[in-house]
Amino acid sequence: MSPAGSTHSVVLIAIAAALGGFLFGYDTACINGAISALQSHFQAGPLLIGLSVSLALLGSAAGALMAGGMADRRGRLHAMGIAAVLFLGSAVGSGLPVTIWDFIFWRLLGGIGVGIASAVAPAYIAEISPPALRGRLGSLQQLAIVVGIFVALLVNYGIVHQAGSASQPWWLGQTAWRWMFWAEIPAAILYGLGSRMIPESPRHLVRIGAMEQAARVLHCLLGEAGTTTLAEIRESLRDERPARWSDLQGPALGLLPVIWIGMALSVFQQFVGINVIFYYSSVLWESVGFGETRALYVSMITGGINIGTTLVAMALIDRWGRRPLLLMGSAGMALSLGVMAWCFASATLGPDRSLQLSSGTGVAALISANVYVFFFGCSWGPVVWVMLGEMFGNRIRGPALSLCAGVQWVANFVVSTTFPPLLQGVGLWAAYALYAIFAVLSLAFVSTRVHETRGRTLESM
């Protein structure tokens, strides 16, 4: 073991923890290719199909709010194990529903798992990472999410390509859309096994008095520097009692200012409309004349771009810092969303009431959509998760991250449920114009309220 500790060990541990992000991404995106098939199979109206997407998001909000207390009482790994069980149950059950309400139940269960994973993984990765690597390792959570989204889109495309349609029988005589959900089973099992093999967070071990175990973990992660870090953690937790929601109270409208900043980051990450691209991309591109297979193919390309840009963010986040990336991302998203709004405002309605774009405008819309994903993927996607994992002090990290993650899922719910009415009532141009406005507001917010956290220890937050 080198004096600086084993970077290799830290990376492997962070990757195992980030598997929850992969499941998070897969679980939220796998429904993309199944929406039309589900509507046909259950003869369900737009309201029930919308609930099958949006109630899972409310389950995610509930899971996130539960995660902080669970992780502080029983440990980060215990919470990860619970999330893995919920992912597994949801993956199996979502492929075996008898009614649309059965399907909604299993999606809600998976949503709770998503919420737990979304709150626990950033905290755990931040707590096991050296300050110099924390940005890049914290970005693994977002990388895992976008890889999960991409794999879901790839699986959907492959299944539809082989079966001919998500509504057709496929392997073992089962309808193709069922396999879109069952494909999540191996990853859920792997995540559960991984949570049994990695070490507990040293900060949690200090909190419960397991000093020798905490010292061993820190030595493995940091080498000789672990002794100093152990002393700093003990000092920061010296007078600590179990965290309570009341610890978040402060003079700024009832909450600490840092909590408001974390909540605002969470809201802006969703209100720029990113999940419309991943929840409804197939429906969106079908609405402008793409066939089912081609729409899934375009969505898969977008998912691949999202992975590439997250890797860009990982390369830059510890060099440039968090704040510059957020500012760059807000500006780029505002411009690309504005172009998309203009493109769809110029669309006409065809005989079947589908949108029709001229060839030049259609190319501009497609390029702008992927430019938008590029700017989100190298900024607000990974950076917000990194900052939420590191911006709160040890005393309040659990409940603060749970609250901010819960707010993020509620914001996701709002965006996802308002998009179909905007699409049908006003048009795509209005939706993208609204998201562009929020991108501009996010630029102003970061400029005036967000401080840099690069290079600081968690104990100094």
Residue 130 lies in a domain: yes
**Which range has the top average pLDDT, 38-42, 219-223, 347-351?**
38-42
Return the structure tokens found at 1: 């073991």
What is the CA angle 315-216-398, rounded to 5?
60
Q: 287 to each of 282, 291, 350, 356, how far by Cα in Å?
A: 9, 9, 10, 8
Residue 44 confidence (pLDDT): 77
Residue 349, SS3 per DSSP: strand
The total number of residues written for the chain in this structure: 461
Return the structure tokens found at 31: 């429904």
Other C-beta atoms lying within 10 Å of the C-beta of residue 246: 7
pLDDT at 183 over 50: yes
If you compute the radius of gyration of the chain from its CA atoms, what whole number of angstroms results? 22
Single-letter code of the amino acid located at 277: I
Residue 2 confidence (pLDDT): 40
Q: Do residues 63 and 412 make contact, with C-beta atoms less than 8 angstroms apart?
A: no
- Give me the mean pLDDT over the 162-184 stretch: 90
Measured distance CA(22)–CA(117) in Å, rounded:
10
Residue 298 confidence (pLDDT): 74
Single-letter code of the amino acid located at 197: M
Residue 226 lies in a domain: no
Return the structure tokens found at 392: 């709160």
Nearest to 30 by CA among 91, 82, 80, 88: 91
Measured distance CA(125)–CA(129) in Å, rounded:
6
- Give me the mean pLDDT over the 421-448 stretch: 89
Residue 182, SS3 per DSSP: helix
Between 54-63, 138-147, 210-219, 357-366, the lowest mean confidence (pLDDT) is in: 357-366
Nearest to 219 by CA among 5, 459, 2, 457: 5
Nearest to 330 by CA among 292, 248, 273: 273
pLDDT at 4 over 50: no
Measured distance CA(50)–CA(37) in Å, rounded:
14
User: Which of the two residues, 52 and 458, has the higher pLDDT score?
Assistant: 52
Q: Do residues 104 and 51 make contact, with C-beta atoms less than 8 angstroms apart?
A: yes
Measured distance CA(222)–CA(187) in Å, rounded:
29
Q: Which residue has the tokens 């992000």?
A: 21
Dihedral pair phi/psi, residue 188, rounded to 5°: -65, -40
Between 41-45, 149-153, 250-254, the lowest mean confidence (pLDDT) is in: 250-254
User: Which of the two residues, 28 and 2, has the higher pLDDT score?
Assistant: 28
Give the list of residues 6+ apart from residue 238 with CB closer than 8 angstroms, or none: none
Residue 209 lies in a domain: no
Between 16-25, 344-353, 367-376, the lowest mean confidence (pLDDT) is in: 344-353
Residue 227 lies in a domain: no
Measured distance CA(107)–CA(60) in Å, rounded:
10
- Give me the mean pLDDT over the 73-77 stretch: 89
Between 52-61, 77-86, 174-183, 296-305, the lowest mean confidence (pLDDT) is in: 296-305
**Secondary structure letter of residue 201 according to DSSP:** P
**Against a cut of 0.95, is the pTM above it?**
no
| Number of domains present in the structure of the chain | 1
Measured distance CA(399)–CA(396) in Å, rounded:
6
The residues facing 169 across adjacent strands are 175
- Give me the mean pLDDT over the 22-47 stretch: 81
- Give me the mean pLDDT over the 420-432 stretch: 79
Return the structure tokens found at 335: 């411009």
Residue-wise pLDDT for 367-393, tens only, equals 888 899 899 989 998 899 889 888 887
pLDDT at 305 over 90: no
Percent of residues, the chain, with pLDDT higher than 90: 29
Dihedral pair phi/psi, residue 349, rounded to 5°: -95, 130
Residue 238, SS3 per DSSP: coil
Residue 11 lies in a domain: yes
What is the CA angle 86-409-185, rounded to 5?
25
Q: Do residues 221 and 10 make contact, with C-beta atoms less than 8 angstroms apart?
A: yes
User: Which of the two residues, 213 and 284, has the higher pLDDT score?
Assistant: 213
What is the CA angle 247-396-108, rounded to 5?
100
Residue 458 confidence (pLDDT): 60
Q: Which residue has the tokens 């999940």?
A: 275
Dihedral pair phi/psi, residue 355, rounded to 5°: -70, 145
**Secondary structure letter of residue 96 according to DSSP:** S
Burial call 157-191: b when 16+ CB within 10 Å, e when fewer: bbbbeebebbbeebeeeebbbbbbbbbbeebbeeb
Residue 215 lies in a domain: no
- Give me the mean pLDDT over the 205-217 stretch: 88
Between 9-13, 37-41, 94-98, 251-255, the lowest mean confidence (pLDDT) is in: 251-255
Residue 38 confidence (pLDDT): 86
Residue-wise pLDDT for 264-281, tens only, equals 999 999 999 987 776 566
**Which range has the top average pLDDT, 3-7, 77-81, 245-249?**
77-81
Between 277-281, 344-348, 367-371, 452-456, the lowest mean confidence (pLDDT) is in: 277-281
Residue-wise pLDDT for 213-250, tens only, equals 988 888 887 777 778 888 888 877 765 555 666 778 77
pLDDT at 319 over 80: yes
Nearest to 417 by CA among 107, 30, 53: 53
Single-letter code of the amino acid located at 285: W
CATH number for position 284: 1.20.1250.20
User: Which of the two residues, 261 and 167, has the higher pLDDT score?
Assistant: 261
Residue 323 confidence (pLDDT): 94
Return the structure tokens found at 25: 């991404």
- Give me the mean pLDDT over the 359-373 stretch: 82
Range of the domain at 80: 7-198+243-460
Between 81-90, 350-359, 395-404, the lowest mean confidence (pLDDT) is in: 350-359
Residue 210 lies in a domain: no
Residue 217 lies in a domain: no
| Helical packing angle, 359-377 and 274-287, nearest 10° | 160
